[in-house]
Amino acid sequence: METPAAAAPAGGFFPSFLLLGFATLVAALLGAAHRLGLFYQLMHKVDKASIRHGGENVAAVLRAHGVRFLFTLVGGHISPLLVACEKLGIRVVDTRHEVTAVFAADAVARLTGTVGVVAVTAGPGLTNTVTAVKNAQIAQSPVLLLGGAASTLLQARCLWNCLSMCCTPTSWFRRRWCQLSRPRASWVKGSPGPCDPMSKETSEARERQGYLENYLANLFAGAWEPQPEGPLPLDIPQASPQQVQRCVEILSRAKRPLVLLGSQALLPPTPSDKLRVAVETLGVPCFLGGMARGLLGRSHPLHIRQNRSAALKKADVVVLAGTVCDFRLSYGRVLSRSSKIIIVNRNRKEMLMNSDMFWKPQEAVQGDVGSFMVKLAQGLQGQTWASDWAEELRQADRQKEQTFREKASMPVAEHLNPVRVLQLVEETLPDNSILVVDGGDFVGTAAHLVQPRGPLRWLDPGAFGTLGVGAGFALGAKLCQPDAEVWCLFGDGAFGYSLIEFDTFVRHKIPVMALIGNDAGWTQISREQVPCLGSNVACGLAYTGYHKAAMGLGAQGLLLSRESEDQVVKVLHDAQQQCQDGHPVVVNILIGRTDFRDGSIAV
């Protein structure tokens, strides 16, 4: 017979089970309420009477970050943002292709040191930007892309949701915006593009009204509560004093030192004039690349322009200051294995690219390049190097330039000698000019012959080598520096990407000057393809009247050919005058082919 004591545990089992079940149910209900945002709605007000939209939030943040220009190609998904920016005094500049808008933002970022901003609509509007965004990322330009998207209620039913394929070149804005209001945080989830906060959709036939009301209430709860909008302090890596001292000791023992200065040296916070003083104080011969071109002016004794590979083989210490060992340095193979290599870069992955394969750094410094160069110069104050090393490099420069003069005087089979044309461009280029270069063979020749007049006055694609940057870069450059003359050097192949944007220049009253080296072909490719593979297939173009096409778009057009060989300088001055009168100008320069770049490769 069962005793009362034995029955007690069995009797207590059911209350415990019920208590556990009740607790589980409560936890489930609380979890559901949390997922539905009910708790958040209790704490934050939903202003159902508000007529504001999320575009106003975005525009306010942009203005707080000092953004002056928003580049775009209009679309319904981004209309609220464009209108809000216009109301807040941010100039909205619309282009004829989304890729041009991104290139323009890229140029603004490079020239001002602040973020360049572009907004595009959903679907193909967003996918059209991919090449330009990647170009900006590789060039380390701080560009913010705002991509339109369908509302989250429709994304599963819509083919326009392309945000997952995009990246943002700068995490800085992502960190900034994640700290703002709840709707704003959703814009940077996956890709920084305005989505739900800008949608006016309030119903969908297939969804129950209660679900929709809760969804929208959860989405917009607290949307207009005050939030910080201003920029966050930047976290820029700096070289440690110990690293700087080790580099000082290495360089102090050098007999044949060399510096390669890249675009990263011109990033804020070190101003270009302070960097120039540091380079002059250091007294080491240097090669300048990217945005650092022009840092030392036109004829500085420390600036070496030619025979870089030969100089690198002879140098005993090489400072790669913001320069990486990619294809431009033959992945490091141009460096001598007996040289001591100091490399400094903000990005560790780029800094060590191809190391231990073709080269090895003696000292690798992850930090800001400009401030590192200033500290290096301070540490070597009073240090001098034998003058015969710099004179040897300058003598090699003079010999190469004599070769250029000889090539400029050689006749070509038809039209004008491009080497001579570019020499005349160099002689005509004013001190306040900004050079935008977009092309292959013609631009490759120009890189040897035409010198930017100062720092941040040379805009090329960067390491990605993208064709088609010209119109966008010119647009951004002229907006940032309206008093500068913007000269664009185009190959005729590359100009095909930019022609339609002369409509943009005319509509927005942006006077820029385009010089097209028109040799009727993709010559940089054919130089290699024909001798190696025996065919010029797909490399041929025509001596197209690009100047006439530009005139059809409302711009001015001029032609240079063999018949006007003695008028090159006059035509360039005429183009300058037309630009000064407010007109964009295309100078179509018919050129022949030379052996100036024989041996250059396209892959």
Query: Mean pLDDT lowest for which of 4-18, 174-188, 316-330, 442-456?
Result: 174-188
Q: Of the candidates 368, 386, 387, 385, which has an alpha carbon nearest to the alpha carbon of residue 274?
A: 368
Q: Which residues contact 14 (CB under 8 A, 6 or more apart)?
A: none
Residue 262 or residue 10, greater confidence: 262
- Alpha helices by DSSP H, listed for 139-197, are 152-155, 171-178, 182-187
Sheet holding 585-590, edge to edge: 458-459, 433-438, 485-491, 513-518, 585-590, 556-560
Q: Which H helix or E strand runs over 514? A: strand 513-518
Q: What pLDDT, on the 0 to 100 scale, is given for residue 209?
A: 65
Instruction: Please give the pLDDT value at position 254.
Output: 96
Report yes or no: 473 and 107 within 8 Å, Cβ to Cβ: yes
* Residue ranges of domains in the chain, CATH in brackets: 50-168 (3.40.50.970), 241-391 (3.40.50.1220), 410-590 (3.40.50.970)
Helix (H) or strand (E) holding 146: strand 143-147
Query: Which contacts of 344-351 are long-range, i.e. CB under 8 A and separated by 24 or more positions?
Result: 344/239, 344/319, 344/320, 344/369, 344/372, 345/264, 345/320, 345/369, 346/140, 346/236, 346/237, 346/264, 346/267, 347/140, 350/324, 351/324
Determine the pLDDT at residue 53: 81
| Average pLDDT along the chain | 86
Q: Give me the pLDDT at residue 464, please.
A: 92
In this structure, what are the phi and psi dihedrals at residue 91, rounded to the nearest 5 degrees?
-75, 125
Taking only the tens place, the pLDDT of each residue in 147-180 is 887 766 665 555 555 554 454 433 334 333 333 3
How many Cα atoms sit within 13 Å of 479 on the Cβ side?
30
Cα distances (angstroms) measured from residue 85 to each of 21, 43, 63, 122, 392? 54, 30, 8, 19, 56
Using CA atoms, how far apart are residues 337 and 509, in angstroms rounded to an integer? 53
Residue among 170, 167, 197, 200 nearest 185 (CA): 197
Report pLDDT for 155. 58
Lowest mean pLDDT among 6-10, 81-85, 269-273: 6-10
Give yes or no for a contact between 498 and 491, defined as CB atoms under 8 angstroms apart. no
Cβ distance 116 to 109 under 8 Å? yes
Span 555-578, mean pLDDT? 96
Residues in contact with 472: Cβ distance below 8 Å, sequence separation at least 6, in sequence order = 71, 95, 99, 100, 101, 102, 103, 104, 105, 106, 107, 132, 498, 501
For residue 355, which phi and psi values (nearest 5 degrees)? -70, 155
Per-residue model confidence (pLDDT) at position 36: 65
- Rounded mean pLDDT of 530-547? 95
Q: Residue for token digits 């022009």?
A: 294
Q: Pick the residue with more confidence: 37 or 9?
A: 37
Please check whether residue 103 is in contact with residue 141, taking contact to mean a CB–CB distance below 8 angstroms: no
Distances (CA, A) of 424 to 108, 573, 598: 29, 11, 22
Cβ neighbors of 450 (< 8 A, separation 6 or more) are 422, 425, 426, 429, 435, 489
CA–CA dist 438, 495 (Å, integer)? 8
Asked whether 369 and 324 are in contact (CB, 8 A), the reply is no
- The Cα–Cα gap between 483 and 21 comes to 76
pLDDT tens column, 477-493: 999 999 999 999 999 99
Alpha carbons 373 and 527: distance in angstroms, whole number: 39
pLDDT at 22: 77
Whether 182 has a pLDDT exceeding 50, the answer reads no
pLDDT bracket for residue 401 (50, 70, 90): very high
Give the per-residue pLDDT at 172: 35
pLDDT of 601 above 80:
no
Q: What is the pLDDT of residues 423-446, one digit of tens each?
A: 999 999 999 999 999 999 999 999
| 192, pLDDT greater than 50 | no
Residue range 118-145: mean pLDDT, rounded? 93
- The percentage of residues in the chain with a pLDDT greater than 70, rounded to a whole number, is 84
* pLDDT one-digit tens code per residue, 371-392: 999 999 999 998 988 899 999 9
Q: Would you state the pLDDT for residue 169?
A: 37
CA angle 414, 419, 423 (to 5 degrees): 130
